[in-house]
A and B are shown apart, each in its own frame.
Chain A
Amino acid sequence: MAEPGPAINPIEQFDLTPIVPIKIGFHPYDFSITNSTLFMAVIAALTLWLMSMTARGSVGVPGRLQSLGEMAYEFVEGMVRSAAGDSGMRFFPLVFTIFMFIVLANLIGFFPYSFTVTSHVIITAAMALIVFFTVIVVGLKEHGLHFFKLFVPDGVPIYILPLVVAIEVFSFFVRPVSHSVRLFANMLAGHITLNVFGGFCVMLLAATATTTKLIAVLPFLMTIGLDALELLVAFLQAYVFAMLTCMYLNDALHPGH
């Protein structure tokens, strides 16, 4: 009794669609303005708006927007100070930008017909690589060759040291991979799950039998629960990404473990 329901494609929501097609070069490279570009611009504009509203009429008793902006600032400030120390505040602009971008991208993804930028690995990998190269450049600039002390832990017997150093170097290069995949995979999986359960609802409602239609309540309840979970994940992943950024920058500032 398989009834033909509407086709649900849970991957479709991640499709990139060009809005303003731009092709550059002889072998045309695609520089099109896509829905992803659009939503990144929206995120940037929102951040700019929020922070300028916060800074504009600084009054003693802040309004709601100013409170929000100040809370965001203090939240990230506490994160940077606890994970990278006071000298880590040099990187506050970087961490704050990353945090606001991710948290807004994840939250905007909740709106129907929106696009979740962070569900594309290229976006998260770009951010992870910015952090990765910042760590290397700052570490080398601040500490010169002492930066490589990062790979030589204290108190390791000499006969096992080559292996340990190899492992440390290896795990240093694994970091940008895990850093980017964690955020991307969480957002991708969450949105696919939501879409699948939403799709169950639609499919069941398309059925002819009334009893089958009633079962649609179950996946609907599941969707509500998952939405709450996704809200937690959206915020938490932004926090985790920013927190690990601080931890990695801490390595650049204090490489001697």
Chain B
Amino acid sequence: MPMPDDDDDDEALKARRDRLAAQLKARQPKPRPDDAADASGKSAGAAWSMGAKAGTEFVGSVVVGGAIGYGLDYVLHTRPAFTIVFFLFGVAAGVWGVIRATSPKGGGTAP
């Protein structure tokens, strides 16, 4: 009588599969509750690189902006004009960069 045996086997197999699935699920790492946990759970290295990035990009923006302005003034003989404009532009870009780097990602949009 192969049929009932097969059925029994199927039943048993299904039960074992379900049990195994449940056990696997229990052992799997829990999905992260939210983005904040994700950010804090990341390694300190990621935080270091964020800090280094924000700091140097701010300084870099200001310096490069000032340098571009100074260069334009040097070429066009308009001494203070472009230096002032591009310096302020550099400051704006630096602040914008820091705000963007430090503000939490999300609002539902994909990164």
If over half of A's interface residues share one DSSP class (helix, strand or loop), that class is named, otherwise mixed; here it is: helix
- Chain A interface residue count: which class? 20 to 34
Decide if B89 touches A178 in the complex (CB within 8 Å).
no
List B contacts of A154 (CB < 8 A). 109
| Count of interface residues, chain B, beta-carbon cutoff 8 Å | 23
Q: Can you report 13 A-B residue pairs in the complex whose CB atoms are below 8 A from each other?
A: A79-B45, A154-B109, A167-B92, A167-B93, A170-B93, A174-B61, A175-B60, A181-B56, A239-B48, A243-B49, A244-B49, A247-B49, A247-B53
Asked if A213 is an interface residue, CB under 8 A from chain B, the answer is: no
Q: What total count of A-B pairs have CB within 8 Å?
A: 64
- Interface positions, chain B 74-96, Cβ under 8 Å from A, are 89-90, 92-93, 96
Decide if B60 touches A236 in the complex (CB within 8 Å).
no
CB distance from A167 to the nearest CB of B (A): 4
Asked if B20 is an interface residue, CB under 8 A from chain A, the answer is: no
With both beta carbons as reference points, the residue of chain B lying nearest to A185 in the complex is identified as B56
Q: Mark A83-109, 1 if CB is under 8 A from B, else 0.
A: 100000000000000000000000000
Please name the 10 residue pairs, one residue from A and one from B, whose CB atoms are nearest each other, closest first: A178-B60, A243-B49, A178-B56, A240-B49, A167-B93, A182-B56, A174-B60, A178-B57, A240-B52, A177-B60
Cα–Cα distance between A181 and B63 once the two chains are bound (Å): 12
If over half of B's interface residues share one DSSP class (helix, strand or loop), that class is named, otherwise mixed; here it is: helix
Q: Mark B42-59, 1 if CB is under 8 A from A, else 0.
A: 100110110011001101
Q: Which of A83, A166, A177 has the most CB of B within 10 A?
A: A177
Q: Mark A144-158, 1 if CB is under 8 A from B, else 0.
A: 000000000010000
Cα–Cα distance between A143 and B45 once the two chains are bound (Å): 30
A interface residues (Cβ-Cβ under 8 A, vs B): 79, 82-83, 154, 163-164, 166-167, 170-171, 173-175, 177-178, 181-182, 236, 239-240, 243-244, 247, 254, 257
List B contacts of A171 (CB < 8 A). 57, 61, 93, 96-97
List A contacts of B72 (CB < 8 A). none
Cα–Cα distance between A175 and B97 once the two chains are bound (Å): 11
Q: Which of B42, B49, B92 has the most CB of A within 10 A?
A: B49
Asked if B111 is an interface residue, CB under 8 A from chain A, the answer is: yes
List A contacts of B49 (CB < 8 A). 239-240, 243-244, 247
Cα–Cα distance between A222 and B92 once the two chains are bound (Å): 39
Decide if A174 touches B57 in the complex (CB within 8 Å).
yes
CB distance from A125 to the nearest CB of B (A): 13
Decide if A244 touches B93 in the complex (CB within 8 Å).
no
CB distance from A26 to the nearest CB of B (A): 31
